[in-house]
């Protein structure tokens, strides 16, 4: 398996400049002058990468889309404050209609893989946001044929990722009870991805979550988290106690992870912090070019990647159709 898939122009298939976020600050025994030079060099490298991404054609278009979507999202935000009304009478495929009444796109997935079409999908938003961020993605999933797509709202004032992860565990159990399915898929945007990871890795959620897809999630922290001293924001800093807990060994984790990140993400800095690396996890990283942080859930390439992943992922982590990147087992798991 290639650890990095690039969605977009093949001539731009080059990973963003890497900056060691854990070594940004002075290290023990390091002199002030040498530390300052090293830190300045890393910041300059990240800045050059960000400017290059923004100055490119996809970057300029992506910045325009980001600003337009932020304006639209502000208008939609009040509609997503209330908790979603869940359907208590799911049909056989997640719809309340017969198979023959479904549009061709939806019927195709049901016919090809009824289990994939019916597996519930739970969408988890990020900080100071709500379910309205998934307006486009949710519609795309249902158009593709996924019949059971739900969202989870949590309050804008949250003090601890761990507490919200407990709420996510309760929401997953409720969804399983309503649908009769034992496992679900979870899609998390921004901090929602960290919430879902904590549930999967530390609260036993891998028994319930088949696939976790994260969009613009700061798996290795973000420099912006140093701007606010609140408890929640401190958990998003590189090397925080939360991230160290997520980096701890997670043997026998059964959940498959796909991390989608962008070279134009203005909230995850440096951008490669959106990559997920963990020796115990089945993880694939997907890079998209020229997409802002808020625009990730509406980008057509991202929507297609999420739909394809959830439609063609088999129970053992392998894909069911040719042409889709295979999720291989790690060497350690193969030898076990």
pLDDT in tens, 178-218: 988 999 999 999 999 999 999 999 999 999 999 999 999 99
Coil, helix or strand for 150?
strand
Extents of the domains making up the chain: 4-10+18-335
Tokens 């993400």 sit on residue: 265
Q: For the chain, state the CA radius of gyration.
A: 20
Strand partners, 5: 286
Residue 63 confidence (pLDDT): 87
Backbone angles phi, psi at 281, to 5 degrees: -110, 145
Produce one character per residue of 290-315: b if its CB has 16 or more CB atoms within 10 Å, e if not: bbbbbbbbbbebbbebbbbbbbbbee
Range 4-10+18-335 has CATH code 3.40.50.1820: yes
Are 122 and 189 in contact, with CB atoms under 8 Å apart? no
Which residues make Cβ contacts (< 8 Å) with residue 72, sequence separation at least 6? none
The tokens describing 5, both together, are 């898939």
Alpha carbon 197 to chain centroid, angstroms = 10
Mean pLDDT rounded to a whole number for the chain: 80
Q: What is the pLDDT of residue 60?
A: 86
Q: Which of 330, 307, 310 is closest to 319 using CA atoms?
A: 310
More confident residue, 91 or 211: 211
Within 10 A of 87 (CB to CB), how many other CB atoms are there?
A: 15
Residue among 39, 3, 26, 66 at smallest CA distance from 295: 66
The tokens of 7 are what? Answer: 């969605």
Stated pTM of the model: 0.79
For the segment 260-308, what is each residue's pLDDT rounded down to a tens digit? 999 999 999 999 999 999 999 999 999 999 999 999 999 999 999 999 9
> What region does 153 belong to: left with phi over 0, alpha with psi -120 to 50, or beta?
beta
247 and 303 in contact (C-beta within 8 Å)?
no
- Rounded distance between C-alpha atoms, residue 260 and residue 274, angstroms: 7
Under a CB-based contact definition with an 8 Å cutoff, are residues 292 and 189 in contact? no
The Cα–Cα gap between 92 and 117 comes to 10
């Amino acid at each position: 398996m290639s650890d990095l898939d690039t969605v977009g122009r093949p001539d731009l298939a080059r990973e963003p400049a890497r900056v060691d976020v854990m070594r940004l600050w002075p290290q023990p025994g390091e002199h002030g002058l040498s530390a300052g030079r090293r830190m300045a060099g890393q910041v300059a490298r990240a800045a050059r990468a960000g400017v290059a991404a923004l100055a490119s054609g996809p970057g300029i278009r992506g910045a325009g889309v980001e600003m337009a979507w932020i304006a639209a999202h502000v208008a939609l935000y009040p509609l997503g404050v209330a908790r979603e009304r869940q359907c208590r009478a799911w049909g056989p495929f997640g719809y309340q209609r017969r198979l023959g009444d479904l549009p061709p796109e939806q019927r195709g997935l049901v016919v090809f893989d009824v289990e994939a079409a019916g597996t519930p999908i739970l969408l988890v938003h990020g900080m100071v946001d709500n379910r309205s961020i998934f307006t486009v993605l949710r519609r795309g999933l249902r158009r593709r044929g996924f019949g059971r797509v739900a969202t989870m709202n949590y309050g804008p004032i949250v003090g601890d990722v761990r507490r919200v992860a407990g709420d996510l565990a309760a929401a997953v159990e409720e969804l399983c009870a309503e649908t009769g399915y034992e496992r679900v898929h979870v899609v998390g945007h921004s901090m929602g991805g960290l919430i879902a990871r904590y549930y999967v890795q530390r609260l036993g959620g891998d028994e319930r979550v088949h696939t976790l897809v994260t969009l613009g999630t700061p798996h290795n922290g973000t420099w912006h988290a140093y701007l606010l001293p609140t408890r929640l924001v401190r958990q998003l800093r590189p090397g925080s106690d939360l991230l160290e807990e997520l980096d701890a060994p997670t043997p026998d984790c059964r959940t498959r992870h796909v991390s989608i990140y962008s070279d134009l993400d203005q909230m995850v800095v440096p951008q490669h912090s959106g990559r997920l690396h963990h020796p115990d996890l089945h993880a694939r990283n997907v890079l998209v070019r020229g997409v802002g942080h808020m625009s990730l859930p509406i980008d057509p390439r991202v929507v297609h990647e999420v739909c394809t992943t959830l439609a063609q992922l088999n129970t053992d982590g392998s894909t069911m159709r040719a042409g889709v990147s295979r999720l291989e087992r790690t060497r350690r798991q193969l030898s076990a």
